[in-house]
Amino acid sequence: MSRSVTVRVPAKVNVQLAVGGPRPDGFHDLANVFLAVGLYDEVTVTPADTLRVTASGPGTDQIPLDATNLAARAAIALAERHGLAPDVHIHIIKDIPVAGGMAGGSADAAAALLACDTLWGTGASQPELLALCAELGSDVPFSLIGGAALGQGRGELLTPVPVGGTFHWVFAVADGGLSTPAVYRECDRLRGAAVIAAPEPAPVLLDALRTGDTTALAAALTNDLQPAALSLRPSLRETLDAGTHAGALAALVSGSGPTCAFLAKDAASAAALTTALLTSGTCRTARAAAAPAQGAVVVPTPAEATS
């Protein structure tokens, strides 16, 4: 039998990214409020003679197709834990911008883990899957659960955050990516010898999410990595300004960038903002997406969907 399993997994935007000073292990302590947004990758796993990765979609020439691909690493980690051979063909349909600060690679890792667990019938519990996710990367556990969550430690210690409404976002996707480690290094460089307070979640931001208050959320958005992303890619200032002039309630760099995120009043404003950004000449493309989005989920096969 050679059935396939497909998992759909969302991108994320950080609505708060408070970054502490560098730790001895090189990571930074974070207060990182993740919000899953409705831009998705799809990862399909099919039994094969050997582990193989293929990918389609924009930017896939920039992702490795060997065992270093995060989706392949996830399959290998799950197989090792259960004494199996990771012999699957992993196909990734990418819609999340590559190296865009929207956790695309992490999303693929979470999706591959869930897909392989389903294909192999390994029956991993949610805590087991989350522990494997945390070994694969700081943003991977959140990609599995979706919704909204506060990440502490290096971002992997998750507490779900309630969300009381729908938020309408527009994402301006840049040409080319930014390396997340390089952005953290630039953040440290810009801060120099300044004393950095321990990162704490902002109560006003968590309240805005809980009550579904778009205006309050717009006023509370923060990203400590934004100065570093702008320092490495000064042209992002023009992208942020284009969105602000076109009526966004708030504009910020998404995570480590270079994708820029804009919060809109409602779905109609998001559509208008998308059009304005597309014609602004300040980004490669612009996409509207609603939040919160569900985490990684197995997509029913056509037969399952109709039965």
- Using alpha carbons, list the distances in angstroms from residue 20 to 27, 141, 182, 197, 230: 9, 20, 16, 6, 19
Question: Which residues are registered as beta bridge partners of 111?
Answer: none
Counting contacts by CB under 6 A, is residue 64 touching ligand ATP? yes
Contact (CB, 8 A) for 38 and 291:
yes
The site map against ligand ATP for 215-254 (x = CB under 6 A) is: ----------------------------------------
Counting contacts by CB under 6 A, is residue 10 touching ligand ATP? no
In the annotation, is 265 catalytic? no
Binding test (CB under 6 A) with ligand ATP, winner from 86, 146, 147, 255: 255
Counting contacts by CB under 6 A, is residue 151 touching ligand ATP? no
Contact (CB, 8 A) for 74 and 114:
no
Helix or strand (DSSP H, E) at 108: helix 104-120
Select from 76-84, 95-103, 124-132, 228-236 the region that touches ligand ATP (CB under 6 A): 95-103
Nearest distance from C-beta of residue 92 to ligand ATP, angstroms:
6
Instruction: Count CA atoms closer than 13 A to 181's CA, side-chain side.
Output: 3
Per-residue H/E/C for 48-105: CCCCEEEEECCCHHHCCCCCCCHHHHHHHHHHHHCCCCCCEEEEEECCCCCCCCCCHH
Nearest distance from C-beta of residue 57 to ligand ATP, angstroms:
10
Please, which of residues 173-212 interact with ligand ATP by CB under 6 A?
177, 180
Binding test (CB under 6 A) with ligand ATP, winner from 18, 19, 45, 71: 71
Counting contacts by CB under 6 A, is residue 133 touching ligand ATP? no
- Decide whether 12 or 168 has the Cβ nearer to ligand ATP: 12
Nearest distance from C-beta of residue 207 to ligand ATP, angstroms:
25
Counting contacts by CB under 6 A, is residue 141 touching ligand ATP? no
Counting contacts by CB under 6 A, is residue 13 touching ligand ATP? no
* CA 119 to chain centroid: 24
Contact (CB, 8 A) for 73 and 67:
yes
Phi then psi for residue 110, to 5 deg, are: -60, -40
**Largest separation between any pair of C-alpha atoms in the chain:** 63
Counting contacts by CB under 6 A, is residue 146 touching ligand ATP? no
Q: 61, 139, 188, 224: which is the annotated catalytic residue?
A: 139
Counting contacts by CB under 6 A, is residue 172 touching ligand ATP? no
Counting contacts by CB under 6 A, is residue 70 touching ligand ATP? yes
- Using alpha carbons, list the distances in angstroms from residue 41 to 16, 69, 103, 105, 259: 23, 14, 11, 10, 16
Phi then psi for residue 89, to 5 deg, are: -95, 120
Select from 93-101, 199-207, 208-216, 290-298 the region that touches ligand ATP (CB under 6 A): 93-101
In the annotation, is 139 catalytic? yes
| Contact residues for ligand ATP, defined by CB under 6 A | 62-64, 69-71, 92, 98-106, 108, 139, 177, 180, 255-256
Residues labelled catalytic: 12, 139
